Structure 1
Amino acid sequence: MEEAEKEPKKDASAEEFVALSDFTASGSDQLSFLCGDRLLVHARPCEDWWWAELREDMVGYVPASHLEQEEDLEDPWQDVEYFGSYGNLKLHLEMLSDRSRTEAYRQVVLNNRDFLRDKVVMDLGCGTGIISLFCAQLAQTAKVYAVEASPIVEYTRRLVRQNDCEDVVCVLQGRAEQVQLPQRVDVLLSEWMGNCLLFEFMVEAVLLARQRWLAEGGVMWPSSAALLLVPCQAHSFYTETMTFWERPYGLDFSPLQPLAQQEFFSKPKFSHVLEPQDCLSTPSEVLFLNMYTLTVQDLEEMEGQFDFLVDTPGDFHGFCAWFTVGFESLQPGGEAVQLDTGPFSEPTHWKQTLFMLDSPVSVHQGESIRGSIVLRRNPTWRRHLSITFDWVHYSPSENQYKVSSSPYLYWRY
């Protein structure tokens, strides 16, 4: 930035660019931004550093290498990578081995087999087709349209033939917004949930399929979904990522701790296993989705509130999240089925998601942690999102309030 000695003026012909990755400013004249943010570039005083605007009151120098114009972006849905990952058996083995997940769908079909008989079903994102086979064999449905966009679909067709279900199960390859069915369906089934419920946003495909192919009065399974949250301890993870750097092998490596904090705590920890005793309060439902009324536009930003009363004193290392989905019963007096991915239920392949604070906070019984969680869909990379926690820690014994905010980029690739 040596060639740019003074602040450039804003330019009416500014061009819009998209951030390809995060950037953290190291000087007062630089501008921090997150991957997917849209910036207006007003001036290019040198090859490597440009003068840009993120919002009305946020301007500064940004590295040109981090920006790209939208028309030059390749595959903002990352379909090649996303669907490609489902083209091999690794993920399918993980999902099929998850008995809690697979048995929940099997139980839904069994509990509602009288209703499903002679009905038309769509199984969206069918994978290997196991739910479609449950419908055909256990409920004697009239037709099942098994829709899958990944390369595994060729094997799905073989599995349908191998299990003598080709007269009932019709396997179709394509995305929800592209595939064509010969008729509307009575039931739309899908296993669309990702980490922290929404990650990868397969739920959008389900909503598009609902609009295009679900008959009036048709059934959605899951029928509802909820995101749950709890403040928690995470001593093991904190020790292995932060405390480790204090004196490894008798040497002082503490200068690496700020780097470790940025690397390990700025993004969520996937597949975390939360021990029930590490919950500092009773879990709370912060989001609820009605799958009959949820819209694609709703997915752009969702906000939930929480108000936790600390009942277990300890070190508040962060928040832990998981989800539940519910399947309404269609049998008179029948029992609804729920799949719970939390720490108090049978383990699932989703496990839980951990959001670490910058540093632990000591909390005591009777104190409160109240605030909000906001999930914002990435405006460019559509399978990703950011999650921000804003909260207040109140200690009644000291009559003190501490206000905090923690943003996280939910980005796997």
Structure 2
Amino acid sequence: MAETYTLRGHAAMIADRVRMDAYQAALERTVRPGSVVLDIGTGTGLMALMACRLGARRVFAADPGDSIRLARAAARASGFADRIEFIQGLSTQIELPERADVIVSDLRGVLPLFQHHVASLADARDRLLAPGGVLIPRMDTLFAAPVQAEKDYQAIVGPWDDHGRGFALDAARRAALNEWNKTHFGADDLLAPPRVWAVLDYRTERNPHVRGTLRWTAERAATAHGFAVWFDAELAEGAGFTTGPDGEKTIYGTAFFPWLAPVPLAEGDVVEVELQARLIHDEYVWVWNTRVEGPDGEKARFRQSTFLAQPATTADLRKRAHDFRPVLGEQGRVDQLVLGMMDGGATLEEIANALQRRFPERFRVWEEALSRAGQLSQAYAQ
């Protein structure tokens, strides 16, 4: 299931004036009196309310999180409860009685390549959008540039280099440098002009994987610590925002991809990065392979991936191999018992009793068995 935001997270998104002003402008350009609107990932319901105020005849507001209860309360308090139908669930698993003229969403993270964002919009476009309907956003363009980022780099390596305990923590340091981080950069931090890495046109896009090679020529001498990636959002005609160094700070921030070591650049040095993002299950695996070339030859070469930041054992990796023959462990057998009894014929109390009888060493206290049964009930029961 896709990740849902905390209440504090929803508050931060609403408080982001740049984001909210752009979405308000996009809705004003697309919602007409009588429109049917689908708000995917409605959260606390603000965009659904905005659509109603602009004259939408009917609004479907979908979200898998429990914050949808607060959205219902907001609809009642605002006088729009009769026009908004709230649906607690993923948009990919819902059906609508009529297709939407406008679909609005913000399923991104720091970057648009986040969980099942691309696939969810493709599904909504194909199944839930009326012919001639409008998607908000309609396009995100991703940019990148090498950066000087001493402070951000030290925040990553400092705990492993300067802990003062006399131990070698090189493995953890290297793992930390195979993760990217959220930060903010100004235009003065860039060491070369930005290059377009990818364009996600949600009116046609359905491939969640992105791969491309970026090439820059350094415009000044400085120490480069990695590169930044950000996006420009085109929500509707004349409505959008940027998360890059030329714009105001937003809740999205900018992604910083550090290198394994800082690289002193001279004016005219060439930096080449092969950057790819591949969706594996529910998360993206990022790969960035870097080569820096000076007038006298190669100055640096790095191969990095978020896969290398995960402390996976050989046994963990083996369990994902195509020829592995899995056998349920105890936790799997516990969940299998609970799910097998969720057929409408047993109460949670009866399921908890069965768990305790079957796994007495695992559930010495009945309340623990009831808690596990309740967790699975909340996740999977109708």
Deviation at 1:351, TM superposition (A): 0.6
In structure 1, what is the equivalent of residue 282 of structure 2? 383
Conserved? CA contact 1:247–1:254, under 8 Å = no
Please tell me the residue identity of whatever aligns with 2:274: S
In structure 1, what is the equivalent of residue 197 of structure 2? 286
SS in 2 for 1:177: helix
Q: Does 2:8 correspond to 1:90?
A: yes
Q: TM-score, normalised by structure 2?
A: 0.75
Q: Report Cα offsets for 1:268-314 as digits up to 9, x if no partner.
A: 11x2122322211111110101111111xx11x31122121111321
Deviation at 1:167, TM superposition (A): 2.8
Matching of residues 13-32 of structure 1 within 5 Å: none
Q: Does 2:31 correspond to 1:109?
A: no
Partners in 2 of 1:223 and 1:325 — Cα distance?
A: 8
Change (3 A) 1:133 1:411: farther
Matching of residues 234-245 of structure 1 within 5 Å: 234-242=149-157
Deviation at 1:400, TM superposition (A): 4.3
In structure 1, what is the equivalent of residue 17 of structure 2? 99
Q: Does 2:131 correspond to 1:216?
A: yes
Change (3 A) 1:410 1:218: farther
In structure 2, what is the equivalent of residue 408 of structure 1? 306
Conserved? CA contact 2:228–2:256, under 8 Å = yes
Partners in 2 of 1:105 and 1:243 — Cα distance?
A: 39
Partners in 2 of 1:96 and 1:240 — Cα distance?
A: 29
Q: Unaligned regions of 5+ residues in structure 2, if any?
A: 311-382
Q: Percent identity?
A: 24
SS in 2 for 1:181: coil
Change (3 A) 1:326 1:241: closer
Partners in 1 of 2:174 and 2:302 — Cα distance?
A: 17
Q: Unaligned regions of 5+ residues in structure 1, if any?
A: 1-76, 330-335
Change (3 A) 1:313 1:364: same
Partners in 2 of 1:344 and 1:316 — Cα distance?
A: 19
Deviation at 1:223, TM superposition (A): 0.7
SS in 1 for 2:10: helix
SS in 1 for 2:21: helix
Partners in 1 of 2:249 and 2:11 — Cα distance?
A: 16
Change (3 A) 1:261 1:377: same
SS in 2 for 1:155: helix
Q: Does 2:84 correspond to 1:169?
A: yes
Deviation at 1:403, TM superposition (A): 4.2
Please tell me the residue identity of whatever aligns with 1:136: C
SS in 1 for 2:91: coil
In structure 1, what is the equivalent of residue 221 of structure 2? 313
Change (3 A) 1:216 1:240: closer
Q: Report Cα offsets for 1:253-273 as digits up to 9, x if no partner.
A: 4733x245224212111x212
SS in 2 for 1:242: helix
SS in 1 for 2:93: coil
Conserved? CA contact 1:268–1:409, under 8 Å = no
Conserved? CA contact 2:107–2:114, under 8 Å = no
Partners in 2 of 1:285 and 1:136 — Cα distance?
A: 37
In structure 2, what is the equivalent of residue 364 of structure 1? 266
Partners in 1 of 2:300 and 2:177 — Cα distance?
A: 20
Please tell me the residue identity of whatever aligns with 1:144: V
Conserved? CA contact 2:22–2:235, under 8 Å = no
Conserved? CA contact 1:385–1:410, under 8 Å = no
In structure 2, what is the equivalent of residue 119 of structure 1? 35
Deviation at 1:252, TM superposition (A): 7.9
Deviation at 1:185, TM superposition (A): 1.1
Partners in 2 of 1:247 and 1:128 — Cα distance?
A: 43
Deviation at 1:372, TM superposition (A): 2.1
Deviation at 1:317, TM superposition (A): 0.7
Deviation at 1:239, TM superposition (A): 3.0
In structure 1, what is the equivalent of residue 174 of structure 2? 262
Q: TM-score, normalised by structure 1?
A: 0.70
Partners in 1 of 2:231 and 2:131 — Cα distance?
A: 28
In structure 2, what is the equivalent of residue 130 of structure 1? 46
SS in 2 for 1:303: strand
Partners in 2 of 1:247 and 1:131 — Cα distance?
A: 46
**Per residue, is there more helix in 1 or in 2?**
2
Partners in 2 of 1:366 and 1:394 — Cα distance?
A: 9
Conserved? CA contact 1:186–1:215, under 8 Å = yes
Conserved? CA contact 2:143–2:194, under 8 Å = yes
Deviation at 1:224, TM superposition (A): 0.6
**Per residue, is there more strand in 1 or in 2?**
1
Q: What is the RMSD of the two structures over their aligned residues, measured on CA atoms?
A: 2.3
Select the residue among 324, 339, 343 that pairs with 2:245. Answer: 343
Please tell me the residue identity of whatever aligns with 1:97: A
Greater shift, 234-243 or 338-347, is seen at: 234-243
Q: Does 2:308 correspond to 1:395?
A: no
In structure 2, what is the equivalent of residue 302 of structure 1? 210
Deviation at 1:324, TM superposition (A): 1.8
In structure 1, what is the equivalent of residue 318 of structure 2? none
Partners in 1 of 2:161 and 2:126 — Cα distance?
A: 56
Partners in 1 of 2:156 and 2:51 — Cα distance?
A: 46
SS in 2 for 1:390: strand
Partners in 2 of 1:89 and 1:303 — Cα distance?
A: 34
